[in-house]
Copies of this chain bind each other. A is one copy, B any other.
Amino acid sequence: MTGTTQTQQAARRSDATRAAILAAARERFAADGYEKATIRAIARDAKADPAMVMRYYDSKAGLFAAAVAINPGLLDLPVEPSEEIGRRLVSHFLTLWEENGELTALLRVGATDPTAAERVGSVLREQLIPLARQVGPDPEQAQMRATLCASTVLGLAMTRYVLRFPASMELSREEIVEWLGPTVQRYLTDPTP
């Protein structure tokens, strides 16, 4: 029915605009970065009032934090089978990056904001260091090997999703996996050169 009782309907209505604001914020932060993405523009996209954004998320910083809060388990990569782990990791990250706009937002803002930069680092550390420890030859090298993998993945994310180089955007998913997969595989498992 269209006209139900007000008591619970009101709560639902505010939840809907909350979600709309959050979605609009993710897009704007991903597209424009932190400074250029204004609360006014985000509210306009979400068809809400700018004052509502402040009411729900306290401040612009609070809104950004909520917009790029990473769903726990979002980046979890199944570890087995460990063969072809390089290709599977690249493929996994490609999917994540295309399905979750908050990753681009976080990386783009991280280029200017140290707090966001640290967040990018912690996410990658939590994902890649355990992996490197598991499949690598020497546990003491896990941090270094994870860093090399992070650099590989972020390099692609920069050229393809942040800087948007046409030549990088034209690469097919298969091409990327076939070229970068062996690179990551080597960083993870090969003996020190």
With a cutoff of 8 Å between Cβ atoms, the chain B residues found around residue A178 in the complex are 192-193
Among A18-26, A40-48, A72-80, A164-172, which stretch is in contact with chain B?
Answer: A164-172
With a cutoff of 8 Å between Cβ atoms, the chain B residues found around residue A32 in the complex are 112
The digit string for A143-176, where 1 denotes a CB below 8 A from any CB of B, is 1101110111111101110111101100100010
Please name the residue on chain B nearest to A165 by beta carbon.
B121
Determine whether the beta carbon of B121 is less than 8 Å from that of A112. Answer: no
The digit string for A26-55, where 1 denotes a CB below 8 A from any CB of B, is 000000110110000000000000000000
Minimal beta-carbon separation of A92 from chain B (angstroms): 17
With a cutoff of 8 Å between Cβ atoms, the chain B residues found around residue A156 in the complex are 151, 155
Query: Which one, B150, B164, B167, contacts A165 given CB within 8 A?
Result: B150
Determine whether the beta carbon of A193 is less than 8 Å from that of B179. Answer: yes
| Docked pose: A117 CA to B161 CA in angstroms | 11
Answer whether A33 and B111 are a contact pair too, CB < 8 Å, given A143-B167, A167-B143, A167-B147: yes
Query: Which one, B121, B144, B187, contacts A163 given CB within 8 A?
Result: B121
Query: Which one, B110, B148, B150, contacts A179 given CB within 8 A?
Result: B148
Please name the residue on chain B nearest to A116 by beta carbon.
B163
A88 contacts the other chain (CB 8 A):
no
